[in-house]
Amino acid sequence: MGSSSIRLLVVVTLLVGLVIKLDKCKCKQSDELEVYIVYMGSSHKLGGERGSTVSSHVDLLSSVLGSEEDAQSSLVYSYTHSFTGFSAAMSKRAAAAMAEKPGIVSVFPDPLLKLHTTHSWDFLQAQSGVHYSAPSYTSGDTIIGMLDTGIWPESPSFNDDGIGPVPSRWKGVCMGGQDFTCNRKIIGARCYKGSGTLSGRDIEGHGTHTASTAAGRVVGDADYYGLGFGSARGGSPSSRIAVYKVCSDQGCLGSDILAGLDDAVNDGVDIISVSLGSASLFQLDFSNDPIAIGAFHAAQKGVGVVCSAGNDGPDSYSVVNTAPWIFTVAATTIDRDFQSDIILGNGKVFKGEAINFSNLSRSEMYPVVFAGDVGLNMSSREDASNCYPGSLDPQKAEGKIVLCSNGDSISKRMKKAAVQSSRGRGMIVVDDLGKYVASNYGSFPSSAVTSESGAEILSYIKSTRNPVATILKTAAVTNYKPAPIVAYFSSRGPGALTQNILKPDISAPGVNILAAWIPYSNES
């Protein structure tokens, strides 16, 4: 692999912070139909033989299901380009019979994967001395295949002004659907059966974000409600983008991901980004893992596949996507921090982590209480302490800033809703992970602090007759030290399946990345 290809791999690794987890498949009754993936190994077909390969898949399926009609109706996909196999709806009994057929490598249930995110390139340039915008970095003929939730083509990050013709070697199509058009930047789009719509348009935001992070064009005067103001750009702004929409709001099916990988290789992409991965506790053997299978055959064709290491850190053995032919990437911080300071009535200042656009000021102080002390009589103290929905008493919390404990089963968004519904004035969340990932609280005054800071704030509340505090609007702080460091949540090695192979392979920024999003989302 040449030096330019290696540098291109580093570009796509920035997508590491946007991880997708794999649900453990639930067992079905033996006669209940579900989709299975039938993997048959490398494709040895010659050009133009796709039809005969599909026919052979139907014949094989007919031998198990009993008729060609049943086989045709149950077939979901035939994989015929970089490898051979198919996915089809069948019973557990039929799948077991299929697994006994000659030439079958593996048969496994179709897994469901779920979606798990400007200044970054300046920081990378300062760290490495490499000027990422230099013409030698990547050319306009480089094609990045994005397997994700689609893309929002109207974003300025994807305009094609001044871009040359689409590379002649490109063999893909634009299946964008209604009100979706490709251009010389977004040169192709495909959508798959489980993606929810017959359009390449992104309605989740994740795919637009990853695509602009990897290859978004330079957009001047970009910011997020005043934060991170400057020029936004992807790692390889001159590269082309090919979109493979394999995910819906319900998740991403393994059968769709395999189809996307197979199509991407055949279409002519140079590198593939799949921000997907199994949960560390439910890792599949490589022969039963759709990502490992598709990536293996992509590598055989000279196409690199970049995957995230996972978000199950900091535990050991939590890294996923550990197949040696996958480029596995851990997430690190950059030297930018989104700080929302908390000021107590005694003058003590705590550096919180959050994105909020509150209208509180340094001069305004509000009563601050511990959530466990303002719970409803019918609620347990533990539920109230964790700001569980419906656990707080509005008569006790109204107009006050509420300190919430760290309840792992309750998201910060749920805590915020609980405090808002109790008419609280603001929220402080104790969350060690929040120090590394700034959550978006909108206009509601909120901030996350470490356990150590939370204990100090609680001590102030308990020892003061009339404790008060305020929460300041978020400010972006650059040149934050130390940086880079491996993110708290980023999965660690060694790999459970490949302990003799060092994984992750590399680390790259994956925390607090600002990039394009869909326009009508409150996360944009």
Closest among 218, 123, 237 to 513, alpha carbons compared? 123
Q: How far apart are CA 213 and CA 118, in angstroms?
A: 9
List pLDDT tens digits, range 301-333.
Answer: 999 999 988 888 888 898 989 999 999 988 887
List pLDDT tens digits, range 15-62.
Answer: 444 444 444 334 344 578 999 999 999 876 544 456 678 999 999 999
For the chain, the structural domain boundaries read 3-22+113-335+494-509, 34-110, 337-477
Q: Does the pLDDT of residue 401 top 90, yes or no?
A: yes
Give the pLDDT score at 51. Answer: 61
Q: Does the pLDDT of residue 339 top 70, yes or no?
A: yes
Give the pLDDT score at 246. Answer: 94
Q: How far apart are CA 150 and CA 248, in angstroms?
A: 9
Select the more confidently predicted residue: 252 or 121: 252
CATH number of 337-477: 3.50.30.30
Q: How far apart are CA 275 and CA 114, in angstroms?
A: 10
Mean pLDDT of the chain: 84
List pLDDT tens digits, range 459-504.
Answer: 999 999 999 999 998 887 676 777 787 877 888 889 888 888 899 9
> 410-449: buried (b, 16+ CB within 10 Å) or exposed (e) per residue?
bebeebbebbbebebbbbbbbbebbbbbbbbbeebbbbbb
Classify residue 179 as left (phi > 0), alpha (psi -120 to 50) or beta.
Answer: left
Q: How far apart are CA 394 and CA 419, in angstroms?
A: 9
List pLDDT tens digits, range 222-238.
Answer: 656 566 656 677 788 99
Lowest-confidence pick of 29-38, 154-163, 383-392: 29-38
Give the pLDDT score at 491. Answer: 85
Mean pLDDT in residue range 113-118: 58
Give the pLDDT score at 117. Answer: 46
Give the pLDDT score at 326. Answer: 96
CATH number of 3-22+113-335+494-509: 3.40.50.200
Give the pLDDT score at 256. Answer: 97
- Percent of the chain having pLDDT more than 70? 81
Equal fold, 34-110 vs 337-477: no
Mean pLDDT in residue range 7-13: 50
Mean pLDDT in residue range 128-132: 45
Q: Which fold has domain 34-110?
A: Alpha-Beta Plaits (3.30.70)
